[in-house]
Amino acid sequence: MDCRTSGYNSPANIVAGPKLMNHKQTTSGYKTDTLYAKSRKSVAPFEFDQQVADVFQDMISRSVPGYALTLKLIGQIAAEYSQTSSSCFDLGCSLGASALKLQQYAAKDCNVIGIDNSSAMIDKCQQQLTALGLADQITLRCEDINKAAIANASIVVLNYTLQFIEKSARQPLLNKIYQGMLKGGVLLLSEKVSHPHSETEKLLTELHLNYKRQQGYSEMEIAQKRSSLEYVLIAETQQQHLDRISSAGFGRATIINKALNFTTFMATKT
């Protein structure tokens, strides 16, 4: 269910913390992702629904190498580059891991805004933030980021979100973000990238599959999840991202984190 069907659109705070979870938990305190553990007759396209929201913290932590470091870097960069009285956006915020880093590290008078079009994600974010007493620290919006207004922004985070946006909408989205940013503002874009050389792409894919095996996912879980994401997560090459960032107007861009094919770009509005 997305926010168009729920009509949900309320401000809240986001903190996904282990101590808030009260269902079957991993050793780190989060509900274990077993969504694809049982054989399915047919695998439907992946959706950010309630079932996914319930296990999302475990799912993303075990599936995306370098995720924890990326979050730390978001905090560090927010501390260095957020501007007084500006807005900091987390676009495709899910359970608000990046928004929380912005809230913790950005200049104290920054307006932190998390946007996601999954009402399941937004609802769960709100519950967690409310439980922590932080409901007035982050504004949550259940909205399509393609339609969202971006203004007065010093930091914009797209942490593994652009890959779910229709290809033709990606450049217009980056253009809009650029237009809504202040001079000196920073875009942090994380994506699963594909490699232009097929042999290297095969190698990186195999290394990622091994990473998931080491994280405890079975062959069936890996295969069914891959199939569900096939036409939903559309990866592009590092160069395509750099070209798009440059076309949007950003004067400087570099890679600040890379683990296998998971890459974080930092771009500055000079």
Query: CA dist 269 to 1, 137, 148, 211, 252, Å?
Result: 35, 26, 20, 35, 7
Residue with the CB atom nearest ligand GEK in the bound state: 92
The yes or no reply on residue 228 touching ligand GEK (CB under 6 A) is: no
Residue 36 DSSP SS3: coil
The yes or no reply on residue 261 touching ligand GEK (CB under 6 A) is: no
Contact between residue 261 and residue 193 where contact means Cβ atoms under 8 Å apart? yes
Residue 263 DSSP SS3: strand
Which residue in the set 82, 86, 94, 263 belongs to the binding site for ligand GEK (CB under 6 A)?
A: 94
Write the binding mask 130 to 149 for ligand GEK: x where contact by CB under 6 A, - elsewhere: --------------xxx---
The yes or no reply on residue 188 touching ligand GEK (CB under 6 A) is: no
Report the DSSP pairing between strands 153-159 and 111-116: unpaired
Contact between residue 145 and residue 161 where contact means Cβ atoms under 8 Å apart? yes
Considering the complex, state which of residue 197 and residue 241 has its C-beta at the smaller distance from ligand GEK.
Answer: 241
Which residue in the set 20, 31, 164, 176 belongs to the binding site for ligand GEK (CB under 6 A)?
A: 164
The 8 Å CB, 24+ separation contacts for 203-206 are 204/260, 204/261, 205/261
The yes or no reply on residue 114 touching ligand GEK (CB under 6 A) is: no
Count Cβ atoms below 10 Å from residue 235 Cβ, excluding itself: 16
The yes or no reply on residue 87 touching ligand GEK (CB under 6 A) is: no
CB environment 74-87: b (16+ within 10 A), e (fewer): bbebbeebbbeebb
Which residues in 160-244 belong to E strands, given as ranges? 181-194, 236-237
The yes or no reply on residue 264 touching ligand GEK (CB under 6 A) is: no
The yes or no reply on residue 160 touching ligand GEK (CB under 6 A) is: yes
Which residue in the set 159, 224, 228, 263 belongs to the binding site for ligand GEK (CB under 6 A)?
A: 159
Considering the complex, state which of residue 197 and residue 255 has its C-beta at the smaller distance from ligand GEK.
Answer: 255
Region from 25-33, 155-163, 174-182, 256-264 binding ligand GEK, contact rule CB under 6 A = 155-163
Give the binding site for ligand GEK (CB under 6 A).
48, 60, 92-94, 97-98, 115-118, 121, 144-146, 159-161, 164-165
